[in-house]
């Protein structure tokens, strides 16, 4: 029996339960002992065990089944979103951008407002003016694509883009370094996206966004694992 001695007890309970799971004491799919049993084994109160189980459930290790108990869902901690993004290579990030920005362009073509069009035109012009100045160019490019996502009028999609933005910025910096610091001459490709959104052409907007990001993906090659 492992008795916990130091504060905070819940964190220690998490560590001990995870150790027992990874050691194979409770394989994936197995039901772990009840709160009372675990509290006795660990030398803590049921509330501490309950908190530890809740944390491990949030990390994807445990899964509670109503009226049936708590089961092992995974022997490994699920990585948080920031860790996943940090480990992703540039090609992975481009693929994520395709998933977000192509759909955003399609939705924006159906939902854009006059204010959205003004923002798109302004950020498109700013992006072109910033060409040749790396930091300013990256900021302007992200602002442009952010304006497209905003024009999609989907708060969840907007929040997703926002969470990915720091990694997009890093990926763009890495890509420009690979290209010797030279900013690309792709104004027309971005103008085509705006034109399709202005024309309320969802398919055209999706195609234009996909063509732009697709060229970037082709240059990078397969994303791999």
CATH number, residue 23: 1.10.10.10
Q: Say which DSSP state 102 is in.
A: I
Predicted local confidence at residue 223, as pLDDT: 62
Predicted local confidence at residue 83, as pLDDT: 62
Q: Are the CB atoms for 112 and 72 separated by under 8 Å?
A: no
Dihedral pair phi/psi, residue 14, rounded to 5°:
-60, -45
State pTM to two decimals. 0.64
Q: What residues contact 7, with CB distance under 8 A and at least 6 apart?
A: none
Domain count, the chain: 2
82, containing H or E segment: helix 81-87
**Is residue 64 located within the same domain as residue 96?**
no
Tell me whether residue 1 is in a domain.
Answer: no
Predicted local confidence at residue 1, as pLDDT: 53
Predicted local confidence at residue 78, as pLDDT: 62
Q: pLDDT tens track of the chain, all 225 residues? A: 555 544 478 888 888 998 898 888 999 889 999 989 999 998 899 999 999 999 888 888 888 888 889 999 887 766 556 665 666 677 888 888 899 999 999 999 999 999 999 999 999 999 989 887 888 889 999 999 999 999 999 999 999 999 888 888 888 888 778 767 666 778 999 999 999 999 999 999 999 999 998 887 777 766 655
**Is residue 59 located within the same domain as residue 91?**
no
Tell me whether residue 4 is in a domain.
Answer: no
Cα–Cα distance between 56 and 22 in angstroms, integer?
A: 13
**Is residue 184 located within the same domain as residue 137?**
yes
SS3 2: coil
Predicted local confidence at residue 81, as pLDDT: 60
**Is residue 98 located within the same domain as residue 44?**
no
Tell me whether residue 94 is in a domain.
Answer: yes
């Amino acid at each position: 029996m492992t008795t916990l001695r130091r504060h905070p007890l819940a964190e220690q309970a998490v560590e001990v339960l995870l150790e027992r799971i990874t050691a194979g004491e409770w394989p994936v799919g197995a039901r772990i002992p009840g709160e009372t049993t675990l509290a006795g084994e660990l030398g803590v109160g049921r509330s501490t065990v309950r908190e530890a189980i809740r944390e491990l459930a949030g990390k994807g290790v445990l899964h509670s089944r109503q009226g049936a108990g708590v089961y092992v869902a995974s022997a490994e901690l699920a990585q948080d979103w920031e860790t996943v993004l940090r480990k992703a290579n540039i090609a992975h990030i481009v693929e994520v951008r395709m998933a977000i920005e192509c759909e955003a362009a399609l939705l924006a073509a159906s939902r854009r407002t006059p204010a959205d069009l003004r923002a798109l035109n302004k950020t498109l012009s700013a992006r072109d003016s910033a060409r040749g100045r790396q930091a300013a160019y990256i900021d302007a490019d992200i602002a442009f694509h952010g304006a497209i996502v905003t024009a999609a009028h989907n708060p969840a999609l907007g929040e997703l883009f926002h969470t990915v933005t720091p990694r997009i910025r890093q990926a763009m910096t890495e890509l420009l370094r690979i290209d010797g610091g030279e900013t690309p001459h792709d104004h027309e490709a971005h103008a085509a996206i705006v034109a399709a959104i202005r024309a309320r052409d969802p398919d055209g907007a999706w195609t234009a966004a996909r063509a732009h990001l697709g060229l970037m993906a082709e240059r990078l090659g397969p994303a791999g694992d």
